Amino acid sequence: MDESINYPYFKTRLEKRLKEITEGQQTIAPVELDQSRVGRLSRMDAMQRQAMDQATARLLAKETQRIRTALKRITTGDYGYCIQCEEEIAAGRLKADPSVLTCIQCARAAEKS
């Protein structure tokens, strides 16, 4: 019913995003606590930043995982279909985020649970 999914287009976008993530992670250095001049506040500040970096790293790890799965599904020809219900994922949804693996219905159901 829909025009067929443009695999090369999504593959390029996924690979580009994967590269961004891997290169970006190298620039997130662990927080150095400067022991010589850490007051209580700057120390807390540094720890807070570190916690945020860790949260970001976890999100990026999840996204990396999704992208790898999506790329694998491109090679097997399953890309663009929901991994849960196997329905087609809306083209607009894929364009907004090529790493999505579920259709909007399944994503909404997952959010509720």
List of residues contacting Zn ion (CB under 5 A): 82, 84-85, 103, 106
CA distance 46 to 77: 46
Please report how close the Cβ of residue 56 comes to Zn ion at its closest, in angstroms: 28
Closest CA to 95 of 41, 32, 17: 17
14 vs 82, which CB is nearer to Zn ion?
A: 82
Please report how close the Cβ of residue 107 comes to Zn ion at its closest, in angstroms: 8
Please report how close the Cβ of residue 21 comes to Zn ion at its closest, in angstroms: 25
User: What is the enclosing helix (H) or strand (E) of 97?
Assistant: none
57 vs 85, which CB is nearer to Zn ion?
A: 85
Please report how close the Cβ of residue 10 comes to Zn ion at its closest, in angstroms: 18
CA distance 57 to 88: 30
User: What token pair was written down for 46?
Assistant: 């540094």
47 vs 110, which CB is nearer to Zn ion?
A: 110
**Alpha-carbon separation of residue 47 from 24, 56, 61, 86, 88 (angstroms):** 20, 14, 21, 43, 44
43 vs 93, which CB is nearer to Zn ion?
A: 93
